[in-house]
Amino acid sequence: MILEESELGRIDSMGASGGQGVLYDCPELTLADEPGRLIFKKYKPEVRRGREDVILNGMSRLIQVRNQSPDHRRMVDRLAAWPLAVVRNSSGPGASGIVMRHLTQDCYVELNLFTGPSVSLRGVVQYMQEDEKLQLRAIEPMSSPQRWEFLLRVADFLRFLHHNGVVFGDISGNNIIVRRVARKRGGDSFYPVFIDCDGCRLHGTQPFLKQANTPEWVPPEARIAEAYVRQLRRDPDCDQVELARWQAREKVLTKPTDVYKFVVLLNRLLHRGMQCDEDVPQGAAPTAVVSSRQAYETATALLNSRARVDIIWAGLREEPSDRPTMEQICRAMFGS
């Protein structure tokens, strides 16, 4: 779906600005079969400059992933803040931004901070801490089975994206929100909500927006390329073609990088900030965890199978071609 900026009606600044765009509330905008308030994410001039048509065409194709079937729509709407429409620039070529939903209230938590109560998105990065720290901030902890259930949903959504030719790219503790859903019996459920989905890339195409690796979530192939680029730059006579090739390799995010980052997420979420493993330095932040024996043993206890856990852990291998696919990881996690 493509909208003209004039069709948005009144837009009100939400006072929020990210690395790529500024958010506006659209109180007058309605879309068919889209209940609730909508947001216009207007890309900054430096983000869209020279890429307006690429963004317009690429986002239109990304939106179609959701609209292929009712099942696709239900999956995407439950687990992602997906682009619903791309907005055509009223004063120039191509696109100026996208329209998406507001996040629901169950994605937010009122934190108990030293400075007083503060409402914040319930990011998955918050759950990479010890339960005691969560409780001090008035964040409800997740049990190990609840964490595993949450990770199953993350894995299943990534499998869905990969089956539909989509690479998510910048998987991190900040780009997945935790939605808490109260249940009458058996405790609450926790669902992932992927945000910044406009940074996804269709497999075999150039990204519509610049893709990034969040620090401490950088895959091995990007670290190797970065180190080689530094080495090449030290040589004043270096081959510029080779330099450009390795610089491009630094930034390419693929299905295997999604797999690697998912297994890093799994380790950090099951590790729960506990500094008790030999491979985790004393006093290190929980995001420093890459491969945790604590997480490995927790996963083994939940699955009752070291062989299946070993399939998952192979996602951390340095060589991308040696990593399992998300399909193989899901089969190991679901036991199917």
In whole numbers, what is the pLDDT of the chain averaged over residues? Answer: 84
Q: Structural domain boundaries of the chain?
A: 2-101, 105-208+252-334
- pLDDT tens string 297-335: 989 998 988 999 999 999 999 999 999 999 999 999 987
The pLDDT value given to residue 278: 44
Q: Closest by alpha carbon to 203, among 258, 255, 260? A: 255
The pLDDT value given to residue 239: 80
Q: Closest by alpha carbon to 95, among 32, 63, 50? A: 50
Q: Closest by alpha carbon to 139, among 125, 127, 154? A: 127
Which CATH fold topology does 2-101 show? Phosphorylase Kinase; domain 1 (3.30.200)
Q: Residue 258: CB partners within 8 Å, gap ≥ 6?
A: 158, 161, 162, 167, 168, 169, 171, 326
Distance from chain centroid for Cα 314: 21
The pLDDT value given to residue 284: 58
CA 67/CA 168 separation, integer angstroms: 18
Task: Name the 3-class secondary structure at 89.
Answer: coil
CA 88/CA 7 separation, integer angstroms: 10
Look up tokens 């199917």; give the residue. 336
Taking CA atoms, 327 is separated from 43, 146, 239, 334, in Å, by: 34, 21, 39, 10
Is the distance from CB of 154 to CB of 176 less than 8 angstroms?
yes
The residues pairing with 87 across neighbouring beta strands, listed in sequence order, are: 3, 97
Task: Name the 3-class secondary structure at 44.
Answer: coil
Q: Residue 333: CB partners within 8 Å, gap ≥ 6?
A: 151, 152, 155, 303, 308, 312
Under-50 pLDDT residues of the chain: 275-278
The residues pairing with 116 across neighbouring beta strands, listed in sequence order, are: 113
The pLDDT value given to residue 163: 95
Q: Residue 212: CB partners within 8 Å, gap ≥ 6?
A: 19, 169, 170, 199, 251
The pLDDT value given to residue 227: 82
CA 71/CA 61 separation, integer angstroms: 18
Which CATH fold topology does 105-208+252-334 show? Transferase(Phosphotransferase); domain 1 (1.10.510)
The pLDDT value given to residue 275: 46
CA 129/CA 136 separation, integer angstroms: 11
